[in-house]
């Protein structure tokens, strides 16, 4: 390989010291956050079934309908999205709401996320109605009820993070035609799994997602394993 011109090398070093590439402006892109996805359905089904069976093995009965449990999960997602956007919320980060461990990981990645090279900022947007969520009083009651299940192996976090910043890797995934795609090969596969749970979409309006990280059906099967209780 031909050696680089010494003069050019000197100029390159000089330029690196005095010139820094920065975006001319930031384009704000709203990223859809949904709860009616196959992955979310599978997660709720598996977690609810595991809770019900674990309680029954202890000789008890889970006094919580699946529909109410589903609405509780939806409410947790809504509260995180609204908090990030600075909108009115019923429960803040310090509310100590019971959040199932896997869902807690998902929620911690939702937030405002900037990419310096691309000059874009991703902002989450709620793409579901409040009709599929719970009223404030009932949300608190269900949270207290779930807290009592810790003894059967139910793992959870209390409240969500105060940080409004999200993960760009998470926010930049998009569910297109049943496949999770993103703009590069850099993100860890875990972000594809987490993003698929909420059917994240939006990056495709400004950048072309060409990298395939797996089908929704495969991710659905994977998330069932993450809904297990601690033995």
Distance CA 38, CA 214 (A): 14
List the chain domain ranges: 23-225
Is residue 18 very low, low, confident or very high in pLDDT (cuts 50, 70, 90)? confident
Residue 124: its pLDDT value, please?
A: 98
C-alpha closest to that of 111 among 97, 125, 101: 125
Roughly how many angstroms between the first and final C-alpha of the chain, as a whole number?
Answer: 59
Phi, psi of 185 (to 5 degrees): -90, 0
Over the stretch 104-128, which tens digit does the pLDDT of each residue have? 999 999 999 999 888 899 999 999 9
Across the chain, what does the average pLDDT equal? 94
Phi, psi of 163 (to 5 degrees): -70, 125
Q: Is the pLDDT of residue 1 over 60?
A: no
Assigned token pair, 108: 């911690």
Q: Average pLDDT of 11-34?
A: 86
Q: Is the pLDDT of residue 149 over 90?
A: yes
Residue 2: its pLDDT value, please?
A: 62
Query: What stretch of H or E contains 223?
Result: helix 216-225
Over the stretch 154-192, which tens digit does the pLDDT of each residue have? 999 999 999 999 999 999 999 999 999 999 999 999 999
């Amino acid at each position: 390989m031909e050696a680089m011109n010494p003069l050019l090398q000197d100029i390159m070093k000089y330029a690196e010291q005095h010139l820094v590439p920065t975006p001319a402006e930031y384009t704000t892109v709203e990223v859809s956050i949904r709860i009616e996805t196959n992955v979310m359905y599978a997660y709720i089904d598996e977690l609810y079934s595991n809770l019900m069976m674990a309680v029954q093995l202890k000789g008890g009965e889970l006094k919580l309908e699946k529909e109410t449990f589903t609405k509780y999960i939806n409410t947790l997602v809504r509260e995180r999205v609204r908090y990030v956007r600075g909108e009115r919320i019923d429960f803040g980060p310090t509310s100590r709401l019971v959040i199932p461990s896997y869902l807690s990981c998902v929620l911690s990645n939702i937030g405002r996320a900037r990419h310096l090279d691309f000059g874009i900022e991703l902002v989450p947007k709620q793409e579901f109605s409040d009709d599929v969520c719970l009223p404030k009083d009932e949300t608190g009651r269900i949270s207290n009820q779930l807290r009592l299940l810790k003894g059967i192996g139910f793992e959870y976090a209390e409240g969500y993070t105060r940080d409004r910043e999200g993960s760009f890797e998470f926010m930049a995934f998009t569910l297109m035609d049943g496949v999770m795609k993103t703009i590069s090969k850099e993100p860890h596969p875990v972000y594809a799994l987490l993003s698929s749970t909420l059917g994240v979409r939006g990056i495709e309006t400004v950048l072309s997602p060409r990298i395939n990280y797996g089908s929704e059906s495969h991710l659905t099967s994977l998330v069932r394993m993450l809904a297990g209780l601690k033995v």
